[in-house]
Amino acid sequence: MISVAAIRMQQFGVQFYQASLTANDIDKLVRFEVLSYQDQAQAGLRGKKKGGPQSKINWDLLERRIASNEKAYQRQIIRKKIDELVQYYEQCRQARDLPSIPGAVIISCDEKLSFEPIESGAWVGRLKVPEREGILRAIDGQHRLLALHADIDRFGDEPFTVPAIIFDRVPEDHIVQMFVTINAKHTRLNASHLVSLSGRQLYRDEALAAAHDVVRAINDREESPLFGEIKLLGVGKGRVGQAPLAQELKKLFADEAALGGARKSEQFREESKKFFVNYFKQISTIFESAWNGRKYSIKSATALRAFIRVAPDVIQKIDQHHADRTDFRAIGRVISPWGRRIGALRFETDGAWKRQGTTVDNLAKELRLALQYPEGAAG
């Protein structure tokens, strides 16, 4: 056990501690992790690696210290931020006129902590923390602590303590909610990152969880025409963030009637990933020149949301033909009128797209009418 000076605190029935941890305590006890998906290269760190003799950071060692998995909640670590913090720590050490970590970091412990007051009923005492590597997780202050880890070899015998707020055995969803509360406004937590946390980690929302799975499928599957085109967690080469697509899909999954009732709706959630991959494959074929062209808005959030919004109409047509909802050819037959009635030029950014002031609503209306009147009859 590591014994540290601490103050026991309580707010609305929740007990936690304000403690003083040494740099070595932090370096040994805290584990670092970020939210990422499998197959994301170098998911833990974001930004260019600065090499050469000028760099004070061993990035290879730092990368190995950062775990990444789908159950974490922290955002990617920003290399530039770590670099700046290490430089600041160096300045503080040399100038000796400012503390480098004056504010408390917020961390959680996986196990129950033991507190011994200096006398009965006192709020001040000694906090005992199990001396096990990685038993603590950073909720707020992960960049500051990683910079401390990157710079600790230059501390020598310098006394260095870090103020910390420590929670123990907090339910996982409460930890994530605390993280979101701290970061959503003050540091502008990316909306796509919030979508990734909600639905499962932050709170259980079946419709949003299913929506998130579909976005992952159309971005991650190599056979998808949107492979790698969506900004998951706010990063990536695509122009479209996952948040607007996930919210549109959430509305779709929440409307059981539009999907044929409770039983068919539940079944569709299971097969929705395959449906949407095949759906967008057919869309990319029908509007091939627009999909592969550079001066078109067919891959914009507006267009993709409109295609998602009319998906129930497509599914209804497939059901009328007694076909499998995920069948690639059946989807293609149903939406083929879009090629004749709408055409690729409708998505030309400086043409019809701009002239008609395209919105999700009016584009969805056009798509829906083309399905209802495939031969061009008046609607």
b/e for 212-223, b at 16 or more Cβ within 10 A?
Answer: bbbbbbbbbeee
Name the residue among 271, 371, 362 with its Cα closest to residue 321: 371
| pLDDT the model gives residue 49 | 57
For residues 89-112, one letter each, b for 16 or more C-beta atoms within 10 angstroms of the residue's C-beta and e for the rest, the string is: beeeeeeeeeebbeebbbbbbeee
DSSP 7-69: EEEEETTEEEEEEEEEHHHHHHHEEEEEE--TT-TTTTEES----STT----HHHHHHHEEEE
pLDDT < 70 positions in the chain: 34-56, 67-75, 173, 175, 178-204, 233-238, 376-379
> Is beta strand 124-129 parallel, antiparallel or unpaired with respect to 66-69?
unpaired
Q: Provide the token pair at 275.
A: 């449906």
Whole-number Å distance between alpha carbons of 322 and 335: 16
Query: Which residues contact residue 127 at a Cβ distance below 8 angstroms, ignoring those fewer than 6 apart?
Result: 3, 4, 5, 6, 17, 19, 113, 114, 115, 166
End-to-end Cα separation, the chain, in angstroms: 76
Compute and round to an integer the Cα radius of gyration of the chain. 26
How confident is the model at residue 41, as a pLDDT? 46
This prediction's pTM: 0.56
Side chain identity, residue 87 = Q
Q: How far apart are the C-alpha atoms of 32 and 107, rounded to whole Å?
A: 11
Pairwise CA distance, residues 6 & 15, whole Å: 13
What are 215-274's pLDDT values in tens digits? 989 998 999 999 988 887 655 566 787 888 988 999 999 898 999 898 998 899 889 999
Please spell the DSSP secondary structure of 84-123, one letter per residue: HHHHHHHHHHHH-SS-S--SPEEEEESS--EEEESSTT-S
The angle that helices 311-320 and 301-309 make with each other, rounded to 10 degrees, is 30
Instruction: Report how far residue 59's alpha carbon sits from residue 207's, in angstroms, rounded to the nearest whole number.
Output: 39
How high is the pLDDT of residue 52?
A: 45
The C-alpha atoms of residue 3 and residue 5 are separated, in whole angstroms, by 7
- Quote the pLDDT of residue 287: 96
Give CA–CA dist 298/345, Å, rounded: 10
pLDDT of 94 reads 72
pLDDT of residue 133: 85
pLDDT value for 88: 84
